[in-house]
Structure 1
Amino acid sequence: MARTKEQNERITMATKKKIMAAGLKLFARKGFALTNIKEIAQSAGISTGLIYRHFSSKDELFCELIEDTVKELTKAAQIFDSHASPTQAFAEMTSSLIKDIQSSEELSCYFLMITRSIFEEEALPQMAEIRKSDLLLFEKAAELIEKGQKMGEFKPGNPYKLALLYFSIIQGMANMRLFLGDKYIAPEIEDIMAFLVKEKAGDKQGDIG
């Protein structure tokens, strides 16, 4: 029996996701310049010809992964705009990141891919958009930290430096997830936010969020 249009579309989408997952892992671990289409095909368990049915080149695949990253960074920045309570906003962001990093290597690979790509010898035009999105996220986080300081929720300090410290912690978690694999154990929200959130009289471990 011939497959329906819907079945073909599902198969096509599944294949594309498999290619993107393989590309993401290789770009993260080897970098853009040292990764080739043949390796991506082998990792995905498909032929190179099938890859070219979905992506015209390695550059196009990389570009789509970067576009996905930019979308996620934009969504993350919106979280910092959507709460009256700075503590709740950071708790929501932190909880989501902890779960995503713990549950699979995908988010960690995105972090590593971005870091590697920034230092690629070959200039990658897509990185300009990543830097722009990263800076927006840092600025939104810094603005929310400053708001939290004025509300008495956060500890004193340079808001931008504190925002960079927060995301450095997250980056470190992502790197350790890839390094340790299944042995990785995620920290608690309170441990990550301890440098930022003021303790109140009567607070107990686990009160954040």
Structure 2
Amino acid sequence: MRDIIRQKVLETKKNLVLEEISKIFENDGFSSVKMQDIANRLNISVGALYKLFSSKDELFYEYIAYQIRLFHNMLVENCSSLSQPKLCLETYVKLKFDVFTAKRKAIEDPVIGDPLFFFKMNTQKNDPVKPIFEFLAELFERLDKIEPLKEKNYMKLAYLFNAFTMGYIEYWINYDEKLEESASVVLEEFLKGMKA
């Protein structure tokens, strides 16, 4: 019982710290901030910060995983009142583009410095994106009953759709273009190649 309580306390501390770190990364970026700066802004010792996160890279991955959990919750909440899977898929695109646009400063350096960042993020043991892929797969399965799709592996469709939308984001980051594509247009472009 003591270990369970200790684990819950640690998770709560991490979430509180990640909430504050989100503000720091989103205002100042990732690469310009040192662990000492973060500890000072959080009013904790550097040692206490390193007890929660063993390195700055781990801290950044935890920040991304935290943001993914927030995004998943926001996606589920926004889709709860929508009966059409297509509207939920459009909501996914719109939310994804909005979130990346709002957090550009936080992700810009690691993404540009490491083109495989998101691939590595998805292949971690505790894949934080898995619930989103499962949600998307469920939406594609529902959509297939309304508008037949060529591909019947819905999880594969979820991964393909994620990669398709990430293409827009990576282009936007690398070429400093505006990320203003309409969610419905992006979805229709994807579905053109997927319809039976």
TM-score under structure 1 length normalisation = 0.57
RMSD over aligned Cα atoms: 4.3
Structure 2 residue 40 is the aligned partner of structure 1 residue 50: yes
Residue equivalent to 2:141:
146
- What's the secondary structure of 1:128's corresponding residue? coil
Deviates further, 52-61 or 95-104: 52-61
Task: Show the 5 A alignment for 1:72-111.
Answer: 72-75=70-73, 78=76, 82=80, 83-103=82-102, 105-106=104-105, 109=108
Change beyond 3 A, Cα 1:18–1:86? closer
Give the structure 1 partner of residue 171 of structure 2: 176
**Aligned match of 2:184:** 190
Residue in 2 aligned with 1:65? 63
Residues 162 and 90 (structure 1), Cα distance of their counterparts in 2 relative to 1, 3 Å cut: same
Opposite residue 88 of structure 1, the aligned amino acid is: L
What is the rounded CA distance, in whole Å, between the counterparts of 2:164 and 2:106 in structure 1? 14
The alignment status of 1:21 with 2:19, answered yes or no, reads no
- Structure 2 distance, partners of 1:110, 1:74, is 24
Cα pair 1:100 1:107 within 8 Å, conserved: no
The answer to whether the 8 Å contact 2:86/2:143 transfers is: yes
- Equivalent position of 1:29 in the other structure: none
In structure 2, what is the Cα distance between the partners aligned to 1:164 and 1:116?
A: 16
Structure 2 match to 1:157: 151
Quick one: which of 21, 37, 41 aligns to 2:34? Answer: 41
**Contact kept in structure 1, 2:169 and 2:179, CA below 8 Å:** no
TM-score (norm 2): 0.60
1:146 to partner: Cα distance? 0.9
CA distance in 2, matches of 1:135, 1:111: 21
Is the Cα contact below 8 Å between 2:134 and 2:155 reproduced in 1?
Answer: yes
Could you tell me which runs of 5 or more consecutive residues in structure 2 were left unpaired when the two chains were aligned.
1-18
State the secondary structure of the residue aligned to 2:34. Answer: helix
Q: What runs of 5+ residues in structure 1 fail to find an aligned partner? A: 1-13, 27-38, 121-126, 199-209
Contact 2:75-2:95 within 8 A present in 1 as well: no
- Alignment partner of 1:172: what SS? helix
Q: In percent, how many aligned pairs have the same letter? A: 14
In 1, Cα distance between equivalents of 2:165 and 2:109: 12
Looking at structure 2, the residues matched to 91 and 186 of structure 1 have their Cα atoms a distance apart, in angstroms, of 14
In terms of fraction of residues, the more helix-rich structure is: 2
Larger Rg: 1
Structure 1 position 19, deviation (Å): 3.5
